[in-house]
Structure 1
């Protein structure tokens, strides 16, 4: 199969990896939390800790996982990461208490960032120019599809069908291992043919040191710290909040699924718009403000207005991530060559927020059930402010980059 056609197969595989290995298992947890909490006797704060604790190990591994992807290739990294995600994700189903579930979830946190950063690196390897935004949009749409299916099916279909939340996690684990096996069979990327001069091998330390000197990546990490933390907290709390407000369980789960369905619908159009207009920072800023406003409105609305607010907040979530990853790759001195390390750097900062934002926000529910959304909205507005700040930054000169730093 020629590269021009094979790259679309690779894009489909990357998007489906987001769907089945990342999206569905991740967003199944919020709708399964009531069942898990009853089984293990968890408090609301403990639920918040479980929801965010995997980010602690992701903080440690995000930068390394991206650098490893740049070193051994996205294909090999995804093969290993998917298999590990299957094994460690399924192990959570063996938990018998808060402590054991927290421990297994902490271990599971070793792999998600390796998958996401290298999925988007795969897009940078196989696509470039005006199609790069589209490719990252499709990959993000795959994540949105997984989020929607997980939140819609896990508690109401999969758990009754498979016999409980533990078997749902075992099922997702098996699927992830199969995806890892598929990655072992695909071609390496065509990046070797993009330059007549082969890349000079560099150590992980050299690569990390080089990428860490790109100032804009630190600002983009701050952006995702705020917006990612706000989203993580709000989505984990929403089903529990709605149940507490008297919504039936399936209806509360459907609100979360609606968020992701709206995100899925708009993910590719937002990416195409960024390709067409070529103003990615401005699109990210508008999307960030929409997300922050929508999260804040959840503290003030009730009844049918919740559906409108959920759709408003959700319509740009995965479109934001697709454009964001494209914007990282397009930063001067990054390119496909350093996409993994650069994405790992920004993810490291965002994982800190996703680790602490859910339990901090959930603890505010003791004062008022609506107050967590105010906290998460403020966090997201803070992240969006970073995109405004970037307007005044000078783009770094690529001529100052070492010879081995240039993309293939």
Structure 2
């Protein structure tokens, strides 16, 4: 029994020592922030870009869908490769390339080139995400997995949704063109790649011992045999969709339907990010104590109310900001808890594979297909159609969350048990 469990337990001190834990968390949070900044800074710029490039609402949905589709497929592939080959090389390469491609977005001359650049960028952003989450899990003691993955992921709304709209508008006012905004945004990624190269050691868990090799031949079959992982793979599609729809199409809803000024639109959109950051910080940590399922179901119920109220609200920036904050906080908390559920239910050396598959499925359906449908609805029925569609996604996601089994709270030990 002792020998068997040792096969699945990380090296005791170096891999999970406080300095290593904090350094890994800081680097992965920095990278995760840039992934989301590069992805979402385009949408507040879209009203300006659309006039120059001749784009419409459906084109926004197509661009968002292209990024999400390649992101999702890449997460599935590189999540598995990260478990086999290690995290570090994938992390460095992905940050470097997606930053360069973000800058190249400023060279786009129309829909075709914009789709191509952003789709390829999605490949490398998708490669970064599961490897970075797994690196945080690798370096975290079991009792802090929820907190640490939540801290990492709060960078997505804090930077991608809160900072990106404000930064985009500020840079647009001081730079010659929207094209230069992408160039400036790309620069921090080069620093991040260098820091990962210099500071991040290869996590010990990603290197399997000889006794683990047979399990690595078909890890996807292993992780999908867990009911919670299978449910999360479907549920993530509906939990992610509202956030992507809000992030990509709400700027146009606020500007074109409610006729808010550019500064007011930026304020409301920034509340989406602040709320998301708060939710990702608070709810995963609470789930470490009170259970994942209970918190996920509660958050989904609470997210639906402000989303419904948004449909009844006119051009009132403060009320809109409050409702966006609440909707984003609750749904983002659910998204962040998914990775803790994964860590609770699969062997440690398969966390990246499971995370990559869940993210991949979610991005393909919730990140690609859902905003494409929402963009088509907006073009056919008006931009206001995006809110009922987002609400329907939340309701479906709630039903799936209710079906989850209460996750176990000893991820490493339970992971070892699954391998027997």
2:166 is the counterpart of 1:118 = no
- In the other structure, the counterpart of 2:180 is 167
**Among 211, 221, 238, which residue is 1:209 paired with?**
221
Q: TM-score under structure 2 normalisation?
A: 0.87
- Taking a change above 3 Å as real, the CA distance of residues 270 and 394 of structure 1, as seen in their structure-2 partners, is closer
Q: Which moved more, 1:178-187 or 1:337-346?
A: 178-187
Which moved further from structure 2: 209-218 or 230-239?
209-218
Distance in 1, matches of 2:372 and 2:306, equals 20
Q: Secondary structure at the match of 1:316?
A: helix
Q: Give, in angstroms, the shift of residue 268 of structure 1.
A: 1.9
In structure 1, stretches of 5+ residues that fail to align are: 404-408
User: Structure 1 residues 309, 7: closer, same or farther in 2, change over 3 A?
Assistant: same
1:6 equivalent in structure 2: 20
Secondary structure of 1:201's partner?
A: helix
Cα 1:217–1:301, aligned 2, differ >3 Å: closer, same or farther? same
The count of residues paired between Structure 1 and Structure 2 equals 395
Q: Which moved more, 1:236-245 or 1:1-10?
A: 1-10
Name the structure 2 match of 1:85: 98
Distance in 2, Cα, partners of 1:7 & 1:376: 36
What is the TM-score normalised by the length of structure 1? 0.89
Aligned to 1:372: 386
- Give the 3 Å change call, closer, same or farther, for CA 35–328 of structure 1 in structure 2: same
Give the counterpart of 1:291 among 303, 313, 316: 303
Q: For the residues of structure 2 that align with 1:267 and 1:90, how far apart are their CA atoms? A: 28
Contact 2:347 2:419 in 1 (8 A): no
* 8 Å Cα contact 1:67-1:204 kept in structure 2: no
1:168-195 residue CA offsets vs partner (Å, 9 max, x unmatched): 22223332232122212221224389x9
TM-aligned CA deviation for residue 239 of structure 1 = 1.2
- The aligned residue for residue 320 of structure 1 is 334
5 Å matches for 1:302-381? 302=314, 303=316, 304-331=318-345, 334-353=346-365, 354-365=367-378, 366-381=380-395
Distance in structure 1 (CA, Å) of the matches to 2:417 and 2:24: 34
> For 2:95, what is the secondary structure of its paired residue?
helix
Q: How does 1:207-286 map to 2 (within 5 A)?
A: 207-244=219-256, 245-277=258-290, 279-286=291-298
Contact map agreement 1:24 1:151 (CA 8 A) in 2:
no
Alpha carbons 2:84, 2:206 under 8 Å: kept: no
Q: Does 1:189 align with 2:203?
A: yes
Q: Aligned with 2:312: secondary structure? A: coil
Q: Contact 1:259 / 1:310 at 8 angstroms: preserved in 2?
A: yes
Summarize the Cα distance change of 1:69–1:252 in structure 2 as closer, same or farther, 3 Å threshold.
same
Q: How far apart are 1:215 and its partner, in Å? A: 3.3
Any unmatched runs of 5+ in structure 2?
1-12
CA RMSD of aligned residues (A): 2.6
For each residue in 1:345-396, what CA deviation from the matched residue of structure 2 results, as whole angstroms up to 9, or x when unmatched? 111211122112112112223424322210121012112211111249999x
* Equivalent-residue separation in structure 2 for 1:115 and 1:92 (angstroms): 19
1:246 aligned counterpart, secondary structure: coil
1:315 match: secondary structure: helix
